[in-house]
DNA sequence: GCCGTTTTCGGCCCGACTGTTTTCAGTCG
């Protein structure tokens, strides 16, 4: 709706209202159709008024939006696709449609090849060439959002490289990378430097740069060979905090903060907080928040999902940090598809300062991973006892990643499960059951008194496999009622639960377990990704099971039977 | 289309870079 209205030349604030409302709907942790069937009024959410609440209800109840259909009578719906081409916004798409009758990518390509675009007012040869290049580039693997772990591998060496520029003082990756979002579209790097031109020149000369999209005194954009985009901004040191705030985003958070500034007759931009022409803050982020009477808000919270309201009431969560984590409760060993022994994994965990480590190898149903049968598991239990006798300073816990079978039973008998400290229960097959059946399957499994932790609750693999259909609200409530826990799987391909569901679990009062699912020693360091997601989900140390010492952990793992 | 301890009308965040212009519109973040 927003794209099409914008192409039609509708009031830009009306267009923004649709975008804001769509985003709000996306960040509501509960299922919106459930909210509507419960008769809840959506206009209580920020950015959704009476009108849009009605339209959302229409979509939920009828699967259609009559206004959208009306607009599609006037202009082709496919035009919205064209605005996704870099350099094409609503105005230019409207011009292309009106003057050249371009409605699709194919039309656009043809018009560019025939040199018709350069003849339009406001367009020229360069624009036409870049449009053509963009269309043809798209047919090769279009760059989607990139997983955080991959971006780390890009960011760290690039920042080290830029740091070596003469005159560079501060340098930091901002944007969604700093907010620890699970995927990142492009990397925003911020620097302070005596002579901005020096760092810009060095930036565009980086060996991985394939294309320089733009280069200016304070901002440049490049595309790396991998297709990944990096932006570099340079500001003076007095502006570093304001710029860091601005480039960390999110956009929605920034807009909200700037609006607060406007109310106080202040102007907030990347150079500082200004009262008239006078800069009254900017060197550090804390002062920028201070000028709008807010405490420092952690980057992971800056999504305008309630953090500003919480900050105003001094009710910001004290977010869980890596130092709070006392152990990892989901790792694999050579017994199944891991690559190290129990003792090697335990020593590696101890080196990371942990007090305990739970071995959770696969159960027999996962044949590709040589899942354990009851007798294999007993053998592993014996070995864990021996390792515990040998190792001081860390306790190895006996666990299993036991499959939840299609009928909701667990893959190993209670007689062996009861010998364990904990179970990590997961769905590994039959991902395509209906939402009701999949939910019933998991809920039935939770009725087993030895069910402790639901591992990677949605089964998704970021950018690779969609989550299977489940009623998360029912699952969370069942976990609450039966004394089970939900995993926040820290593997950067999973990060499952996601931020929004993790926050919902906290609200309902279910504790989460942040585990790495490590198959190798180095995988234990994936914990940092889990922490990022947990912090995005507003989790505090108390909301996370594995911040507890060993004896508290064991008490909490005991289910009411 | 949303919103309100200045307001139910009249505002709505702010700036950089490019290309096409000859002072700025469009796009992007």
User: Going from the N-terminus, what domains does chain A have, and what CATH number goes with each?
Assistant: 2-139 (no CATH), 146-235 (3.30.460.10), 239-312 (3.30.210.10), 322-557 (3.20.20.140)
pLDDT at A560: 58
pLDDT of residue A133: 81
Instruction: Check whether residue A44 has its CB closer than 7 Å to nucleic acid strand B.
Output: no
- The C-alpha atoms of residue A401 and residue A422 are separated, in whole angstroms, by 9
Confidence of residue A138 (pLDDT cuts 50, 70, 90): low
Say what the pLDDT of residue A377 is: 94
Q: Does pLDDT of A29 surpass 90?
A: no
**Is the pLDDT at A233 greater than 90, yes or no?**
yes
Residue A408: both structure tokens together: 């909701």
Is the CB of residue A145 inside 7 Å of nucleic acid strand B?
Answer: no
Query: What sign has the CA pseudo-torsion A455, A461, A467, A473?
Result: positive
A373 touches strand B (CB under 7 A): no
Q: Give the residue among A83, A249, A277 at the shortest CA–CA distance from A181.
A: A249
Q: Are A373 and A410 in contact (CB under 8 A)?
A: no
Tokens of A383: 């070995």
Q: Tokens 């209670």 belong to which residue?
A: A414
Question: Residue A528, CB, less than 7 Å from strand B?
Answer: no
- Segment A62-76 shows an average pLDDT of 91
Residue pair A401/A433 in contact by the 8 Å Cβ criterion: no
User: From the CA of A59, how many Å to the C1' of B4?
Assistant: 29
Residues 5-24 of A with CB under 7 A from strand B: 11, 13-14, 16-18, 20-21
A216 touches strand B (CB under 7 A): yes
- pTM for this one? 0.85
**Once rounded to an integer, what is the mean pLDDT over residues A39-65?**
90
Q: Which of A142-146, A178-182, A273-277 has the lowest mean pLDDT?
A: A142-146
Which range has the top average pLDDT, A50-54, A83-87, A336-340, A547-551?
A: A547-551
A171 phi/psi in degrees, rounded to 5: -155, 135
CB proximity A219–strand B (7 Å threshold): yes
Mean pLDDT along residues A466-491 = 95
Phi, psi (degrees; rounded to nearest 5) at A218? -120, -15
The integer distance in angstroms from the CA atom of A469 to the C1' atom of B27 is 38
Structure tokens at A450: 């030895």
SS3 A118: helix
- The tokens for A461 are 């693999």
* Distance from residue A32's CA to nucleotide B3's C1', rounded to whole Å: 23
pLDDT for residue A131: 85
Side-chain-side CA neighbours of A133 within 13 Å: the count stands at 10
Task: Retrieve residue A373's tokens.
Answer: 């049968």
């Amino acid at each position: 709706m927003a794209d099409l209205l914008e192409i039609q030349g509708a009031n830009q604030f009306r267009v923004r209202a649709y975008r804001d409302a769509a985003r709000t709907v996306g960040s509501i942790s509960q299922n919106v159709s459930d909210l509507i069937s419960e008769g809840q009024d959506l206009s209580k959410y920020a950015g959704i008024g009476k009108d849009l609440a009605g339209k959302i209800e229409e979509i939920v109840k009828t699967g259609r939006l009559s206004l959208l259909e009306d607009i599609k009578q006037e202009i082709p719906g496919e035009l919205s696709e064209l605005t996704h081409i870099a350099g094409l916004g609503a105005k230019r798409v409207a011009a292309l449609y009106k003057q050249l009758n371009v409605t699709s990518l194919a039309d656009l390509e043809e018009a560019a090849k025939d040199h018709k675009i350069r003849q339009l007012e406001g367009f020229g040869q360069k624009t036409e060439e870049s449009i053509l290049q963009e269309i043809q580039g798209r047919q090769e693997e279009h760059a989607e959002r990139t997983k955080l772990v991959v971006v780390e591998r890009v960011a760290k060496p690039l920042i080290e490289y830029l740091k070596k520029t003469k005159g560079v003082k501060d340098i930091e990756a901002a944007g969604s990378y700093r907010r620890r979002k699970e995927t990142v579209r492009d990397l925003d790097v911020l620097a302070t430097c005596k002579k901005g031109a020096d760092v810009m020149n060095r930036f565009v000369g980086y060996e991985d740069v394939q294309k320089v999209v733009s280069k200016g005194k304070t901002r440049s954009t490049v595309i790396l060979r991998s297709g990944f985009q990096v932006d570099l901004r340079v500001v003076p040191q007095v502006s570093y905090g304001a710029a860091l705030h601005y480039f960390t985003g999110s956009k929605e958070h920034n807009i909200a903060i700037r609006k607060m500034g406007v109310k106080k007759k202040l102007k907030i931009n990347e150079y500082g907080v200004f009262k008239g022409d006078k800069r009254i803050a900017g060197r550090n982020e804390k002062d920028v928040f201070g000028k709008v009477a807010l405490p420092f808000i952690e980057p992971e919270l800056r999504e305008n999902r309630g953090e500003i309201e919480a900050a105003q009431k001094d009710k910001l969560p004290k977010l869980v940090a890596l130092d709070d984590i006392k152990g990892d409760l989901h790792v694999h060993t050579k017994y199944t598809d891991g690559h190290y022994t129990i003792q090697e994994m335990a020593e590696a965990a101890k080196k990371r300062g942990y007090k305990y480590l739970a071995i959770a190898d696969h159960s027999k149903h996962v044949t590709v991973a040589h899942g354990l049968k009851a007798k294999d598991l007993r053998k592993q239990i014996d070995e864990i006892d021996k390792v515990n006798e040998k190792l001081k300073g860390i306790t190895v816990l006996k666990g299993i990643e036991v499959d939840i079978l299609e009928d909701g039973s667990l893959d190993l008998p209670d007689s062996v499960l009861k010998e364990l400290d904990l179970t990590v229960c997961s769905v590994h097959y039959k991902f395509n059951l209906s939402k009701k059946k999949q939910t019933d399957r998991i809920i039935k499994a939770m009725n087993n008194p030895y069910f402790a932790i639901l591992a990677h609750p949605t089964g998704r693999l970021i950018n690779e496999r969609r989550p299977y259909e489940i009623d998360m609200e029912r699952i969370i409530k069942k976990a609450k009622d039966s004394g089970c826990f939900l995993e926040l799987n820290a593997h950067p391909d999973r990060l499952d639960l996601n931020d929004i569901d993790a926050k919902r679990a906290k609200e309902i009062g279910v504790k989460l377990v942040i585990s790495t699912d490590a198959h190798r020693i180095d995988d234990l360091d994936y914990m940092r990704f889990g922490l990022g997601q947990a912090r995005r989900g507003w989790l505090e140390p108390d909301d996370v099971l594995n911040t507890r010492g060993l004896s508290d952990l064991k008490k909490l793992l005991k289910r009411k039977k």
